[in-house]
Amino acid sequence: MSKVVVLGVSGDKGLWLVDIDAKTVTPLQVPAGTDLAAAVKQREAGGTLIKNVDFAIAVSSAQAVFSGHVDG
């Protein structure tokens, strides 16, 4: 199974394509008229979409993660 995630961070309109195997993060341009574009509209209206991801936390810095800290 490929390890690719589309990620959006609260407060940031942009989306990111995270390819874990390739160790890359790329800004994502969402094609108009696609299922992904429909999901983005739901996000813009305050919705949250989570699929096939069982753990994700946004933190203040990489150092916080490496020290084991999880922002409240």
Closest CA to 10 of 64, 54, 52, 50: 50
- Model pTM? 0.81
The encoded tokens of residue 72 equal: 């409240």
In angstroms and rounded to an integer, the radius of gyration of the C-alpha atoms of the chain is 14
Q: Is residue 2 pLDDT above 90, yes or no?
A: no
The encoded tokens of residue 15 equal: 């989306």
Q: What is the pLDDT of residues 44-70, one digit of tens each?
A: 999 999 999 999 988 888 888 888 877
Domain definitions of the chain by residue range: 4-66
Q: Is residue 72 pLDDT above 70, yes or no?
A: no
